[in-house]
Amino acid sequence: MSKKKHSPKDNGTPATHREASGTGGASAVSRRRLIVGAGAAGAAGLALGAAGGAGGYAATRGEAPTPLTSVGSAEAMFHGKHQAGITTPLQARGHLVAFDLAPGAGRGEAAALMRRWSAAAERLMSGEPSDSRGHDTGVALDAGPSSLTITFGFGRTFFGRTGLTSSRPPALDPLPAFSSDHLDAKRSEGDLWVQIGADDALVAFHALRALQKEAGSTARVRWQMNGFNRTPGATARPMTARNLMGQVDGTNNPEPAESDFEERIFVPSGGSSAYAWMAGGSYAVVRRIRMLLDDWEELTVKRQEQVIGRRKADGAPLSGGSEDSAMDLDKTGPDGKLLIPGNAHARISSPEANGGAAMLRRPFSYHDGISDDGTPDAGLLFICWQADPFKGFIPVQRKLDRGDALSPFIRHEASGLFAVPGGAAPGEYVGQRLLEA
C-alpha cells in the first residue's frame, strides 16, 4: 500500500498550461482559467501549478509547495502515448466508477460511447464545459482544469458482450482468490471502468456527472467509489502522503526515471496482433481495502512500525536512514533479531523479496461513514498499474497472503481488473484500435 513521488509527467507529456506554453491560441484560454490564474498567483504561480503540489507522488522533495491560488490552473493532457491518470501526480479527489453495458448494447454502441466519453474527457481536462452543445451543468464554472484526469478501461466481461472475445488478452484472466478477501460482487469488476482524479472536489464531481450523463441508455453504473488524498499546498514542503493509518504511504514505488519503468508498467508494442490495441496501455488492479482502524489504533507506535517495517514519523526503514534509504533486510539489532521483522509488510511486499515483481501504486483513501457497530467504514481504494498483473500484483499479493503482519488490520472488500489501453492520438478516441479493428 505504498507510493512514491516522481517528476510531474504523464502520457509522454508533462502537465502544462496552454496559456503558459503559448500553444492553442487565445481560444484555448478558458474563462475559468483566467479567473484562477489572475491575481495573487501571477505567472510564477501558474508555472508552479504544473508541479502537482504536496502529497502527489510526482512531487520532488525540496520544491516549493504549490500556491493554492494556482492549483486550479494545472492541466493534464488528454492525448498522448499513455492515458493520463497513471503517472500523473496524485490528486486531492478521486472517483472510481464501473459501468455495465445495457442489454442489447454491443460493439457499435460501445464504440459510440467511447467516442462520446473521449470527447467529453478532452474538453473537461482542458477546463472547458463538458458539452459542446451548451448543456453543461455549471458545477465547475468558476474553476480551472485542477489537474483533472479521466482514465478509461475495459473489464473481462466487456469482450464477450461486444463480440471481441478473441481480442481479450490473457492478462485479463480472473484474479485468484486470497484469504483476506471478503468481496462484494456488486462492487467488483464491471464491463467498463473510469478513474477520475482532480485537485478540486467540484471539478471531479462535474466530470463524474458528465460521463454518467453521456453514458445515456448504453451503459448503467455498476458501482461507484469516492476517494481523497492530501490537498496540494497543505504541507510546508512536498512530501509523500499518509494513509488513514497515519503511515507514510508512497515509498519504494517504481519511478519513471528508472530504465525498466516502461517495461514493468506499460504494455510494449510488437506483441500478438490480436492484442496490439493494448500497446502503450497498462493493467489496473482495483481493490477496496477496509482498514480496521479501531484495532490498529490500539497498537503502540512501536508495534505499528514493526507491522509495517518503517518508522511512522518519516517513513524510513527500521534498518535506518531516511525514507529513500534502501531497506537492509538482513540487518539485526543488539539482540540478534532482524530490525525489519520477517513478517513486516514492507519486507514481504518489496521487489527484493519478490524476484523484482513491482507495480505502480496510486491509491485514494476513502471514508464512507460509520458502520452499525460504530466502526469507521474507511480505508484505501488501492489502484496499482503494471504491464502484466500475473508478474506484478498477483505474486506480491500471494506472498502477502501467506503471512503479512498487516493482514489482521485490513479486509479486501471489492476487487476489479481492467485493461487500460494506450492514450488516444489527436483525432482518435480511447479504445478505437480495439473497437474498430
Phi/psi at 334 (5° precision): -55, -25
Burial class (CB in 10 A: 0-12, 13-18, 19+), 130: buried
For 269, which DSSP code? Answer: S
111: three-class secondary structure by DSSP: helix
Q: Residue 285 pairs with which residues in a beta bridge?
A: 384, 417
Angle in degrees, CA 340, 343, 346, rounded to 5: 60
What is the distance between the alpha carbons of residues 82 and 395, in angstroms, rounded to a whole number? 25
Angle in degrees, CA 62, 148, 437, rounded to 5: 120
Is 249 annotated in the active site?
yes
Tell me the H-state helices in 164-228: 201-215
C-alpha cell at 294: 479501531
436: three-class secondary structure by DSSP: coil
What is the distance between the alpha carbons of residues 48 and 91, in angstroms, rounded to a whole number? 15
Q: From the CA atom positions of the chain, what is the Rg in Å?
A: 21
CB neighbours of residue 69 within 10 Å: 19
What is the distance between the alpha carbons of residues 220 and 98, in angstroms, rounded to a whole number? 9
What is the distance between the alpha carbons of residues 267 and 279, in angstroms, rounded to a whole number? 5
What is the distance between the alpha carbons of residues 186 and 374, in angstroms, rounded to a whole number? 24
Q: Which residues contact 30 (CB under 8 A, 6 or more apart)?
A: 126, 127, 128, 144
Distances (CA, A) of 369 to 348, 366, 377, 378, 381: 31, 9, 6, 7, 15
Q: Are 386 and 110 in contact (CB under 8 A)?
A: no
Catalytic residue from among 191, 199, 200, 249: 249
For 89, which DSSP code? Answer: P
Q: Which residues contact 27 (CB under 8 A, 6 or more apart)?
A: none
Phi/psi at 345 (5° precision): -60, -45
Cite the active site residues.
Answer: 249
